[in-house]
Amino acid sequence: MAYWEPIRELGEEPLIQPGSKLREVTHDIASVSETAAPRGWWICFLIASSFTGVFALCVAYLFYRGVGVWGNSSPVYWAWDITNFVWWVGIGHAGTLISAILFIFRQRWRTAINRFAEAMTIFAVICALIFPGIHVGRPWLLYYVFPIPNQMTLWPNFKSPLLWDVFAVGTYFTVSLLFWYTGLIPDLATLRDRSLTKWRQRIYGFFALGWRGSNRHWQHYERAYLILAAISTPLVLSVHSVVSMDFATSVIPGWHTTIFPPYFVAGAIFSGFAMVETVLLIARSVFNLKRVVMMRHLELMNKFLLLTSLLVGYAYAMEFFMAWYSGNQYEMAHFLKNRPTGPYWWAWLWMVIPNCVVPQLYWFKRFRTSIPVMFVISILINIGMWFERFVIIVSSLNRDFLPSSWGIFRPTIIDVGVFVGTIGVFFTLFLLFMRWLPMVSMTEVKGTMPQADPHRHSEDEGAHDPVKIVDEEPSGAGDLVPEGAE
Amino acid sequence: METRARKTRRTPSVILAEFKSAHEVLHAAEKVHEAGYVRWDAHTPFPVHGMDKAMGLKDSRLGWIVLAFALTGLSGAFVMMHWMNGVDYPTIVGDKPAGAPGTLPSMVPILFELTILLSAFGAVLGMFALNRLPQHHHPLFSSDRFRLASDDRFFISIEADDPKFDLDATRTFLEGAHAHTVEVIEEDAS
C-alpha cells in the first residue's frame, strides 16, 4: 500500500519533468551535499550567520541587563517578544500542514516541497520557542513552566492558557521533529549508500539506522507515516488555536473574541506557505532544482495563498462586523477607531494591504506563474503577517479602558536586533539543512514517477532497451560484482 | 559456490537477486511467495504498490501499539493535572474548582496534546520495534550492488536459514525469475 502512488491515470500531469529517470532524481537531490557548495550558498550563509551573531550579542545584553532593554513598558507589557513568537509559530504551521493534511488528502504535488516545509517548521518553532524563553526576565527560572517538583512544592496552574501553550508548542515541536526524521530515514540511507568517504558513510549510516529498503519495513514505515499524518492533522489545527487562547481568554478589547482560534490558524497557514515559497524560490535558483520543483508546484502554492488570504480577510472583516454588531462601546472604540485611525494606523495598513489586497493578483495566471512577482508577494505577506500580530498585540494594549493609562510603545535597537537575529538563526539552520540533508524527499518523488508503477511495462526502463545502455554504470558504488558472480 | 578451507570458514547467508524495474521485482516476489519461501524480503528504493499483497504480508499491527500509547497519554495527562492541581496542592484560581470534574473543560487542551505526543512516540518507536531498527550490521551491506537498493534498483533477498533454501536451486530459481544479477553473500561461520 504505497500512499504516494505512481502517476498512472489518464489526464494526470507528471509531477516531475517528463522523461526523468529514477537515478537522475537521486543524483539531482543527493549531489547537493556531495559537491562543493555553490557561491550563492556561501553568500547567503555568511549573511545569515552574521545576523546570528547579532542575535547572540543582543540576547547576551538582554540577559545581562534584563528585559528593560526592550521598549516594553506600561501599558504595553507584551510587544515584539510575543509578536515574534506568534509570527514564528505561525510560519511553522505550513510544514505540518503540507506533510500531514495534504498527505491525507493525497495531494501528491506536496512531494516536491514537503521535506523543505517540514525543516522550515522545525527551525521556525525553534525561533519561536526562543521568545518565551528570553522574555520571562529570569530565564534560569524557566523550569517553573514544567510540571516538575520544585523547592516551593508548587505545581503549574493547568487552567492557564499560557501553560496550555507550553504543552501545545512543545508537543508540536516534538511531533514535527519525529515526523521529519521518520521521513528522512530512507533518504539518509541513500546518502549513506552513495558516500565515497568513510566519515560520510558512518555519519549518514548512523542516522539511517541500518535502513535497507526492506518491504517488510516499508509496510510498518508507511503505516507509521500515515498515523503520524493522521494525528498531526488535528495537532496543527490545535497549536495556533491554543496560542490564540493566550489572547482570547483575556478581557482586553481586541483580544476577547471567539473567532480567534480559526482566524489564527488560517493566518498561520497563510504566513507559513508564504515563507515556504520565499525559501523555496531561493533554494531552487541557488541549487538548480527546477526539474523537481516545477512551476506547477509554485502555481498551486499561489492558489493556496490566495485561498488563505481570503480566509484571513474574512476574519478581519468579521472582527469589525462583530465589534459594531455587539454594540459594546469598548469593542467599537477599539476596532472602528483605534485600529484604523489610532497611533498605529500605519501598522494596520501594513496588515490589510499585503495580506488581503496584494494576493488578489493571484486571480490572474500571469502573476501566479511569474517568479519575481511571487517572490515579492511572498515577502510582503510575511511582513503583513508580522504586522497583523503587532496590531493585535500592541494596538490592543496601548489603549485599554482608561484613557489615563494609555501609552505608546516604541521599540529599541535591542528589540530590532533580537528579531532580525532570529531571522538569521532561522536561515543559518536552514542553509545548513539544505547543504547536508536531502532537501526534497527522494523516496516520495520516485514513488510518484511513472517508473514506480508496477503495472507499467519496463520497455523504457532501460532493461531491454539498448539505447539506454549508459544507464548500466551505477554511480557512487565502488567495485561492482560482475553479473551472475557470487 | 566453493567452501574453501580458510582460517575462518565462510558460509552463504543470503542470496541476493537484482531487478531493474518495479514491474519485474513485483512479479519475481509473487513467484518467490508461491514457491513457499518464508525468510525472504524485497528491497526497493520506495514502497512498491501491491508488494505487500505479492509477498503475502499480513496487515501492520502498528495501530494497536499507537492506541496503547494514546490511551497512556490521555490517562496520564488526566492523572497528572488532577493530582497536581486538585489533590497534592489544590490550586483555586478565579474561584474555579481545583480538581476534576470541575476543571475538566480547562484540561482539554493538555489532554489532547499529551495524547498526540505519546501517540507520535508510539508510532515512531513502535515502527522501530516492529522493524528491529536500528540494525547497523546486516549481511546485505557487504554487497556493493546492494547500495543501489536506495537509488534505482530493486532486490529480492532469500536468507540461507529459510527451510526451502538450497544454494544452487535457489539461485537457478531466481535467475529464472528474470533477475538481472544474482549474488551470494557469505558470512563468517560461527
The answer to whether the beta carbons of residues A305 and A333 sit under 8 Å apart is no
Which pLDDT value is given to residue B177? 85
Max Cα separation, chain B? 85
Smallest Cβ–Cβ distance between A223 and the set B60, B93, B116 belongs to B60
Assess whether pLDDT exceeds 60 at residue A2. no
Q: Where are the alpha helices (DSSP H) in A294-440?
A: 295-326, 329-332, 339-341, 345-352, 365-368, 371-390, 396-397, 413-436
Which ipTM did the prediction report?
A: 0.91
Contact at CB, B131 and A216, closer than 8 angstroms: yes
Alpha-carbon distance A356 to A316, whole Å?
9
pLDDT tens per residue across all 190 residues of chain B: 444 545 567 788 889 999 988 888 998 999 899 888 889 999 999 888 888 888 888 888 999 999 999 999 999 999 999 999 989 988 888 788 888 788 898 999 999 999 999 999 999 999 999 999 898 888 888 888 888 888 889 999 999 888 888 888 888 888 888 888 888 888 876 5
Alpha carbon of B45: minimum distance to chain A alpha carbons (Å): 6
Contact at CB, B57 and A216, closer than 8 angstroms: yes
The number of CA neighbours under 13 Å toward the Cβ of B60 is 26
Alpha-carbon distance A255 to A248, whole Å?
5
Cell numbers linked to A151: 523547592
The answer to whether the beta carbons of residues A319 and A335 sit under 8 Å apart is yes
β-strand partners of B159: B14
Alpha-carbon distance A267 to A277, whole Å?
15
Alpha-carbon distance A131 to A88, whole Å?
10
Contact at CB, A4 and B46, closer than 8 angstroms: yes
Question: Chain A partners of B120 at a C-beta cutoff of 8 Å?
Answer: 174-175, 178-179, 228, 231-232
Task: Please name the amino acid found at residue A374.
Answer: M
Q: How many CB pairs under 8 A join A and B?
A: 269
Cell numbers linked to A186: 530512507
Residues 6+ apart with CB under 8 A from B151: A22, A23, A26, A190, A193, A194, A474, A476, B45
Alpha carbon of B85: minimum distance to chain A alpha carbons (Å): 7
Smallest Cβ–Cβ distance between B46 and the set A23, A182, A447 belongs to A447
DSSP character string of B33-100: HHTT--SEEEE-SSPPTTHHHHHTPPPP-HHHHHHHHHHHHHHHHHHHHHIIIIIIS----TT--SST
Residue whose grid cell is 555553490: A38
Contact at CB, B145 and A477, closer than 8 angstroms: yes
Show the beta-strand stretches assigned E in A3-120.
none
Which pLDDT value is given to residue A481? 37
Question: Chain A partners of B100 at a C-beta cutoff of 8 Å?
Answer: none
DSSP character string of A6-21: PP-STTPPPSS-TT--
Q: What is the DSSP letter of A37?
A: P
Give me the mean pLDDT over the A186-193 stretch.
92
When mean pLDDT is compared across A16-25, A133-142, A346-355, A453-462, the lowest value belongs to A453-462
Q: What is the pLDDT of residues A321-356, one digit of tens each?
A: 999 999 989 889 999 888 999 899 999 999 999 999
CA angle B121, B122, B126 (to 5 degrees): 115
Q: Is B185 exposed, middle or buried (0-12, 13-18, 19+ CB in 10 A)?
A: buried
Cell numbers linked to A395: 494596538
Alpha carbon of A377: minimum distance to chain B alpha carbons (Å): 34
β-strand partners of B16: B157, B183
Alpha-carbon distance B80 to B113, whole Å?
13
> Residue B158: helix, strand or coil by DSSP?
strand
Confidence category of residue A457, pLDDT binned at 50, 70, 90: low
Question: Chain B partners of A195 at a C-beta cutoff of 8 Å?
Answer: none
Q: What is the pLDDT of residues A55-111, one digit of tens each?
A: 999 999 999 998 899 988 888 988 899 999 999 999 988 888 877 888 888 777 778
pTM over 0.90: no
Percentage helix, strand, coil for chain B under 3-state DSSP, each rounded to 5: 50, 15, 35
Q: Chain centroid to CA A87: how far?
A: 11
CATH code of the domain occupying A40-444: 1.20.1630.10
- Tell whether A461 is within 8 A of chain B (Cβ): yes
- A294: closest CA among A382, A377, A369, A214? A369
The number of CA neighbours under 13 Å toward the Cβ of A375 is 10
Which pLDDT value is given to residue A101? 81
The answer to whether the beta carbons of residues A245 and A160 sit under 8 Å apart is no
> Residue A473: helix, strand or coil by DSSP?
coil
Which pLDDT value is given to residue A40? 84
Alpha-carbon distance A383 to A404, whole Å?
32
Assess whether pLDDT exceeds 80 at residue A6. no
Alpha-carbon distance A71 to A87, whole Å?
19
Contact at CB, A215 and B42, closer than 8 angstroms: yes
The answer to whether the beta carbons of residues A392 and A254 sit under 8 Å apart is yes
CA angle A274, A276, A277 (to 5 degrees): 65
Closest residue in B to A483 (Cα–Cα): B181
Alpha-carbon distance A23 to A446, whole Å?
9
Task: Please name the amino acid found at residue A148.
Answer: I
